[in-house]
Amino acid sequence: MRRWLPERAERFTAIVLLTLGACGDGASTAPPVAPPPVVGPSAVAGAYVHEVVDVMQRGSINRHIIDWPAFRAKVVAAASGAQRIPDTYPAIRVALSLLADDHSLYLTPNGAILSASTKSCFAAPVAPSPPVPPSIGYVRVRGFSGSADEAVLFATRIQDSIRARDVGDLVGWIVDLRGNTGGNMWPMVAGVGPVLGEGVAGYFIDPDGVATVWEYRGGASWLEGSPLQRVAAPYALRREDPRVAVLTDNGVASSGEAVAVSFRQRPGTRSFGSATCGLSTANLAYALSDGARLVLTVAVMADRKRTPYGAALQPDELITTADRVVERAVAWLIDGR
């Protein structure tokens, strides 16, 4: 995503130990033992916990519905006894769980990931290039994470594959997103842009209703008027605005879902397969004082008509057998029904 990127109650049960008298002619009860004092976090650890919660309170997608005093109290309590910042990691996991967005995560300074997501997404194996008639174009868009140079190469390779398949008089295109687990959406949108078409493709909408637009135009993916990924020599289809069949499954997540949303409400487009993972939300990375990053869910994805998502995207036609998905997409493109 853009780098812009049930509450659990715990009961403590006091156990009273009864000790039998040594003489065997009766029982005696041990004197009550005072519980150990509750030790709060150190000044350093406590300040860090508050820093993390402060960022969450300002930016979380659920900021208007969370009881923040109660939230903060639970997180501070979970940090009880923490002396150093790494000692606060269990409390940060608690905070991520209490956010209840399933998408936020915390990256330690050394790159370890803390997450509390309850999502479990699965993608069945997909043929690298399923057989389709020569009258239909096919492009696969996989997930991507990598450097800026790798992003350019990734987007360019997608456009190169489109160029190679754009021969003859095609009746339409299949855009295969199955198994796209996400990463960086911008090279994906830039790569598939020739089939997607130019113009507004979607929005991010925050809890205050503020919408931020994303687009494809001129060989680049754009966010709010700024190009984020560009292809050096963009390709243009021989036939503009083709019919498009989009294939999805439960393995399509996060930025993969952003590509799926980009095709929603597009004229001449229909989706086939199974529902996506359900992480159609936008994350923003916040730098913390120790060099860690809080990747916080801040908005939901919406299509070009501003229909909001935020959960799994349901296909127009539910088909759970992989071979049947391609077969049905081909039939729709050829017959139009």
Average pLDDT, the chain: 89
Predicted confidence at residue 9, as pLDDT, reads 29
| Domain membership flag for residue 69 | no
Predicted confidence at residue 81, as pLDDT, reads 95
pTM score over 0.95? no
Between residues 326 and 22, which one has the greater pLDDT? 326
| Domain membership flag for residue 293 | no
Predicted confidence at residue 125, as pLDDT, reads 78
38-42, 73-77, 220-224: least confidently modelled range: 38-42
Task: For residues 231 and 151, give the distance between their C-alpha atoms in angstroms, rounded to a whole number.
Answer: 10
Q: With contact defined as beta carbons under 8 Å apart, do 114 and 152 qualify?
A: no
Task: For residues 317 and 238, give the distance between their C-alpha atoms in angstroms, rounded to a whole number.
Answer: 28
127-136, 264-273, 314-323, 324-333: least confidently modelled range: 127-136
Instruction: Give the confidence band of 74 by pLDDT, cuts at 50, 70, 90.
Output: very high
Give the pairing of strands 244-248 and 172-176: parallel
| Domain membership flag for residue 50 | no
| Domain membership flag for residue 101 | no
Token duo for residue 244: 């498009």
Task: For residues 260 and 120, give the distance between their C-alpha atoms in angstroms, rounded to a whole number.
Answer: 19
- Check whether 27 has a pLDDT greater than 70: no
Model pLDDT for residues 85-142, shown as the tens digit of each residue: 999 999 999 999 999 999 999 999 999 999 999 888 887 777 778 889 999 999 999 9
Q: Which long-range contacts (CB under 8 A, 24 or more apart) does 149-155 make?
A: 151/184, 151/186, 151/187, 151/229, 152/187, 152/229, 152/230, 152/231, 152/232, 154/187, 154/188, 154/191, 155/187, 155/188, 155/190, 155/191, 155/229, 155/231
Type of residue at 248: T
Q: Closest Cα partner for 207 from 144, 297, 268?
A: 297
| Domain membership flag for residue 48 | no
Predicted confidence at residue 38, as pLDDT, reads 53
| Domain membership flag for residue 79 | no
| Domain membership flag for residue 110 | no
| Domain membership flag for residue 45 | no
Tell me the β-bridge partners of 318. 273
Report the domain count for the chain. 1
Torsion, Cα 318 202 311 157, to 10 degrees, reads: 70
Model pLDDT for residues 202-249, shown as the tens digit of each residue: 999 999 999 999 999 999 999 999 999 999 999 999 999 999 999 999
Q: Closest Cα partner for 298 from 284, 286, 277?
A: 284
- Check whether 41 has a pLDDT greater than 60: yes
Overall average pLDDT of the 153-162 stretch: 98
Geometric angle at alpha carbon 195, from 182 and 331, rounded to 5°: 95
Tell me the β-bridge partners of 183. 144
Instruction: Give the confidence band of 39 by pLDDT, cuts at 50, 70, 90.
Output: low
Share of the chain above pLDDT 70, in %: 88
Q: Closest Cα partner for 1 from 179, 188, 197, 158?
A: 188
- Check whether 7 has a pLDDT greater than 50: no
- Check whether 58 has a pLDDT greater than 90: yes
Task: For residues 213 and 302, give the distance between their C-alpha atoms in angstroms, rounded to a whole number.
Answer: 9
Q: How far is CA 194 from the centre of its chain?
A: 25
Predicted confidence at residue 21, as pLDDT, reads 28
Predicted confidence at residue 1, as pLDDT, reads 42
Predicted confidence at residue 126, as pLDDT, reads 78
User: The domain that contains 331 carries what CATH number?
Assistant: 3.90.226.10
**What phi and psi, each to the nearest 5 degrees, are found at residue 188?**
-65, -50
Task: For residues 228 and 139, give the distance between their C-alpha atoms in angstroms, rounded to a whole number.
Answer: 22
Range of the domain at 159: 136-281+300-335
Model pLDDT for residues 247-263, shown as the tens digit of each residue: 999 999 999 999 999 99
Q: With contact defined as beta carbons under 8 Å apart, do 292 and 92 qualify?
A: no
